[in-house]
């Protein structure tokens, strides 16, 4: 059970890292215009947040893409 | 207030705050280690890695207590409101210290990769888990909050969702207490640490209860309605110049009625940034200023001064028989209103 929880946590974070790279390069600016002009420090600092909230962030990014 | 996101919006005040915080953390670890060496002299000495582990763990708990105490303290003693301005830095520092504690634990018991960290620290050979796993969960909660502490996440999620998510700090606190009770205190013979932990929990609980009770009484006392549904705010002369009186509407929303000289204006009490209590701030440079992070709004239209774009709802006011009253129906955020004079309507 505990190993399953740990595997889920690390698996979720791993997928989040995959999403975080394109998101921090181009995606953040699509979600919030103020982020388009964000510094590189801000983009790097956003990576852990994207890893945590990647389903929300990815969902909104895709939604904006369709709109 | 930023129109361009940066990693950290450093100001002189924030740099000084963070340097003092870092210095205090280093001093705490140093004093803790020296005192432990004095209390446990050879041949009963504690090895240096375990001392560092304990010092960092204790420091993380102390910081978590301070983080949780700041909110009710600011409500009870407005002079401490300045502590709120950098609470997020303190929260991130708490996560970093707790992470460092976990890193030292992993290094000591897992040999920095010699052994599988999951099997070496988190899961026992028989597959069961102990207090270490509870500490891991607490660290995860602190990580989520630290990772989403930037204003970008606040804007993306909206302050209602963001705030609800960050209330998980209380979950982290419960997990930390369980981590300590089931782990450290089990082998601790001295009563000092159990009493300190109990005292900390009682102080935190007491502060929250007293602050919550005071707010509840204030809200209950401020909902007198006139025959047409407007809410009585009181004698306008009793509102201090450049400050506000906060009233609770029947809907539970709070309105801040600001006085600027002889003019009165009403704004939502909820700052658009982090939901801070705008009515506990003051008028600076002609704008109502949130005491938490300095976000500003023109009192007559609820709009932040350019280039900032935040807007909050405004409310209509009137003065009748020497009493100021507010229409409980909010205007759209940023709607201009005409300030009323405190001498209107036969004021005393």
Judge whether residue B3 has pLDDT over 80: no
The pLDDT > 90 percentage for chain B reads 58
Helix/strand/coil for B205: helix
Residue B77 has pLDDT above 50, yes or no: yes
Which ipTM value was assigned to this complex?
0.93
Residue B347 has pLDDT above 60, yes or no: no
The nearest alpha carbon in chain B to A45 belongs to B7
- Residue-wise pLDDT for B104-162, tens only, equals 998 888 777 677 777 777 888 787 888 999 999 999 999 999 999 998 998 899 888 99
3-state class (DSSP) for residue B64: helix
3-state per-residue secondary structure call for B155-184? HHHCHHHHHHHHCCHHHHHHHHHHHHHHHH
Mean pLDDT of the region B208-221: 87
pLDDT score of A56:
94
CA dist., res. B81 & res. B86, Å (int):
10
Give the mutation candidate from B153, B158, B310 for the A interface (greatest A CB count, under 10 A).
B153
Question: How confident is the model over B17-73, as pLDDT tens digits?
Answer: 999 999 999 999 999 999 999 988 888 888 889 999 999 999 999 999 999 999 999
Nearest chain A residue to B144 by CA distance is A52
Residue pLDDT, tens place only, A2-55: 788 888 999 999 999 999 999 998 888 888 888 888 899 999 999 999 999 999
pTM: 0.83
DSSP H/E element including B153: helix B151-157
Instruction: Note the maximum CA span of chain B.
Output: 83
Q: Which residues of chain B neighbour A9 with C-beta distances below 8 Å? A: 140
For range B289-318, the mean pLDDT: 92
How far, in Å, are B128, B181, B227, B260 from residue B187 at the CA level?
Answer: 19, 10, 66, 61
* Residues 6+ away with beta carbon under 8 Å from B311: B272, B297, B302, B303, B304, B333, B334
Do the strands B282-284 and B287-289 form a parallel or antiparallel pair, or are they unpaired? antiparallel
pLDDT band of residue B348 (cuts 50, 70, 90) is very low
Q: How confident is the model at residue B301 (pLDDT cuts 50, 70, 90)?
A: very high
Residue A38 sits at the chain B interface (C-beta within 8 Å): yes
Copy the structure tokens of residue B117.
Answer: 């960290």
Interface of B with A (CB under 8 A): 2-8, 118, 122-123, 127-129, 133, 136, 140, 143-144, 146-148, 150, 152-153, 155-157
Give the pLDDT score at A66.
Answer: 66
Cβ separation B148–A49 shorter than 8 A = yes
Q: Which of A3, A35, A52 sits opposite B147 (nearest CB)?
A: A52
Nearest CA in chain A to B136: A6
8 A C-beta contact, residue B78 and residue B279: no
- Chain A residue with CA closest to B149: the answer is A49
Average the pLDDT over each of B3-17, B80-94, B214-228, B331-345 and give the range with the smallest value.
Answer: B214-228
Whether pLDDT at A65 is above 80: no
Q: Please indicate whether, in this complex, the C-beta atoms of B122 and A6 are within 8 angstroms of each other.
A: yes
Shortest distance, CA B183 to any CA of chain A (angstroms):
18
């Amino acid at each position: 059970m505990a190993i399953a929880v740990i595997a889920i946590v690390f698996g979720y974070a791993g997928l989040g890292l995959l999403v975080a790279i394109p998101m921090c390069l181009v995606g953040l600016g699509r979600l919030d215009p103020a982020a388009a002009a964000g510094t590189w420090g801000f983009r790097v600092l956003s990576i852990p947040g994207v890893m945590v909230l990647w389903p929300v962030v990815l969902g909104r990014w895709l939604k904006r893409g369709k709109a | 207030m930023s129109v361009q996101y940066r990693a950290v919006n450093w100001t002189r005040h924030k740099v000084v705050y963070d340097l003092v915080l870092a210095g205090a953390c280093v001093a705490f670890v140093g004093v803790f280690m020296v005192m432990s060496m004095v209390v446990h002299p050879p041949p009963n000495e504690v090895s240096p890695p375990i001392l560092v582990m304990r010092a960092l763990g204790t420091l993380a708990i102390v910081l978590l207590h301070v983080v949780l105490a700041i909110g009710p303290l600011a409500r009870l003693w407005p002079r401490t409101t300045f502590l709120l301005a950098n609470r997020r830095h303190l929260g991130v520092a708490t996560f970093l210290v707790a992470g460092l504690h976990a890193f030292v634990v992993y290094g000591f018991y897992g040999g920095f990769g010699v052994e599988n960290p999951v099997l070496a620290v988190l899961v026992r050979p028989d597959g069961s888990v102990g207090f270490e796993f509870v500490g891991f969960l607490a660290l995860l909660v602190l990580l989520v909050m630290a990772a989403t502490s930037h204003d970008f996440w606040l804007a993306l999620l909206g302050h209602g969702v963001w705030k609800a998510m960050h209330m998980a700090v209380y979950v982290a606190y419960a997990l930390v207490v369980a981590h300590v009770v089931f782990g450290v205190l089990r082998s601790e013979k001295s009563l000092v640490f159990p009493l300190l932990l109990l005292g900390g929990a009682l102080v935190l609980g007491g502060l929250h209860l007293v602050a919550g009770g005071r707010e509840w009484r204030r809200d209950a006392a401020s909902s007198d309605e006139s025959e047409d549904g407007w809410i009585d705010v009181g004698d306008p002369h009793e509102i201090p110049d450049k400050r506000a009186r906060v009233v609770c509407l029947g809907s539970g929303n709070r309105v801040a009625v600001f006085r600027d000289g002889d003019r009165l204006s009403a704004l939502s009490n909820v700052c658009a940034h982090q939901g801070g209590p705008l009515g506990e701030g003051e008028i600076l440079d002609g704008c109502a200023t949130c005491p938490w992070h300095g976000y500003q709004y023109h009192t007559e239209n609820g709009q932040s001064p350019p280039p900032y774009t935040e807007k909050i709802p405004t409310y209509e006011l009137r003065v009748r028989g020497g009493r100021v009253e507010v229409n409980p129906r909010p205007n759209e955020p940023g709607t201009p209103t005409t300030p009323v004079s405190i001498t209107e309507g036969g004021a005393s």
